[in-house]
């Protein structure tokens, strides 16, 4: 079942929603503050986040921006602010959907099912193919032109992240957040080193790239060679 985290400071709402979703078979964790929620997002890697906008330590909108800088996990905003402007503002900064308080667990669950359908959660299990690269995320195996690649776990995670977002420049900061789970720490040098090892295993160099292209000052992107 899908992993959900609930970031909500109201004890009663948090308990009701967590229990209600757990009853429906979801794997639920909850956080009472924005900072706790952010840490949980990185450690738990949920498939959906339910985010209360009125949090004690940080405005939910600020938190949403921080979440979006490190993750594209679907976020459903739970808001007491039912005026249109604030809802539009939340959707603008990357919320996928919203529920207005008071809401029922049934309503929230319907929204969760809808966002999971939209992101095609099942689709992520299919192997990712880019050019001659094939990455089986379920089996954690990768091949290049049919030959198995002998990758370390971090190299595999790095390759998978770049392949999932093939054609898109991924920043080293995002890589640190996704692969090393260090959204606000860690050294970009770590990423550089692993990239160079990965390049070697793919039989290419930074000077003569095929799949892995550095975009200076921005990040790196994986593309199928022409
Ligand atoms: Ca609140």
CA angle 63, 88, 42 (to 5 degrees): 25
- How many Å lie between the centroid of ligand 1 and the Cα of residue 199? 47
Query: Can you tell me which residue has the tokens 């200076």?
Result: 216
pLDDT surpasses 70 at 45:
yes
Give strand ranges (E) for the chain: 3-7, 27-31, 48-52, 75-79, 97-100, 128-130, 133-136, 141-144, 147-148, 212-215, 219-222
Same-domain status, 180 and 96 = no
- How many Å lie between the centroid of ligand 1 and the Cα of residue 82? 14
Which of 76, 99, 119 is a domain's end point?
A: 119
- How many Å lie between the centroid of ligand 1 and the Cα of residue 43? 23
Q: What does pTM read for this prediction?
A: 0.57
Instruction: Report the share of the chain in percent with pLDDT over 90.
Output: 58
How many CA atoms, within 13 angstroms, populate the side-chain half-sphere of residue 167?
A: 4
Per-residue model confidence (pLDDT) at position 226: 83
Read off the pLDDT band of 84 (50, 70, 90): confident
Same-domain status, 152 and 79 = no
Say if residue 143 is exposed, middle or buried (CB neighbours under 10 Å; 0-12, 13-18, 19+). Answer: middle
Q: State pLDDT tens for residues 25-35.
A: 999 999 999 99
- How many Å lie between the centroid of ligand 1 and the Cα of residue 213? 44
Task: Tell me which of 139 and 157 has the higher pLDDT.
Answer: 157
The predicted model gives 38-67 an average pLDDT of 91
Per-residue model confidence (pLDDT) at position 106: 86
Per-residue model confidence (pLDDT) at position 173: 86
- How many Å lie between the centroid of ligand 1 and the Cα of residue 215? 41
Say if residues 51 and 79 touch (Cβ distance below 8 Å). no
pLDDT surpasses 80 at 1:
no
Per-residue model confidence (pLDDT) at position 86: 80
What residues contact 91, with CB distance under 8 A and at least 6 apart? 98
Per-residue model confidence (pLDDT) at position 201: 97
- How many Å lie between the centroid of ligand 1 and the Cα of residue 34? 10
Orientation angle between helical segments 188-201 and 172-179, nearest 10 degrees: 80
| Mean of all residue pLDDT scores within the chain | 89
What range does the domain containing 152 cover? 128-222
Say if residues 51 and 75 touch (Cβ distance below 8 Å). yes
d(CA 34, CA 47): 18
- How many Å lie between the centroid of ligand 1 and the Cα of residue 14? 10
Same-domain status, 111 and 15 = yes
Same-domain status, 25 and 51 = yes
Tokens of 67: 């979440």
Same-domain status, 58 and 102 = yes
Read off the pLDDT band of 125 (50, 70, 90): low
Q: State pLDDT tens for residues 163-184.
A: 988 898 999 988 988 788 776 6
- Domain count for the chain: 2
Read off the pLDDT band of 57 (50, 70, 90): very high
- How many Å lie between the centroid of ligand 1 and the Cα of residue 212? 44
Same-domain status, 115 and 144 = no
pLDDT surpasses 90 at 46:
yes
């Amino acid at each position: 079942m899908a992993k959900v985290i609930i970031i909500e400071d109201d004890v009663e709402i948090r308990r009701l929603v967590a229990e209600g979703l757990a009853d429906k078979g979801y794997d639920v964790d909850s956080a009472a503050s924005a900072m706790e929620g952010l840490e949980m997002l990185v450690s738990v890697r949920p498939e959906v986040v339910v985010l209360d906008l009125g949090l004690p330590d940080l405005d939910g909108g600020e938190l949403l921006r921080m979440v979006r800088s490190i993750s594209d996990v679907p976020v459903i905003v739970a808001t007491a602010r039912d005026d249109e402007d604030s809802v539009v503002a939340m959707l603008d900064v990357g919320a996928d959907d919203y529920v207005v308080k008071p809401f029922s667990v049934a309503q929230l669950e319907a929204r969760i099912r809808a966002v999971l359908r939209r992101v095609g959660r099942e689709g992520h299990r299919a192997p990712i193919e880019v050019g001659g690269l094939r990455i089986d995320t379920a089996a954690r195996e990768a091949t290049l032109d049919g030959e198995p690649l002998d990758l370390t776990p971090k190299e595999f995670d790095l390759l998978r992240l770049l392949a999932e977002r093939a054609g898109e420049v991924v920043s080293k900061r995002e890589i640190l957040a996704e692969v090393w789970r260090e959204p606000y720490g860690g050294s970009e040098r770590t990423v550089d080193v692993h990239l160079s090892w990965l390049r070697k295993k793919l039989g290419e160099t930074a000077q003569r790239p095929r799949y892995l292209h550095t975009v200076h000052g921005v990040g790196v992107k994986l593309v199928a060679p022409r």
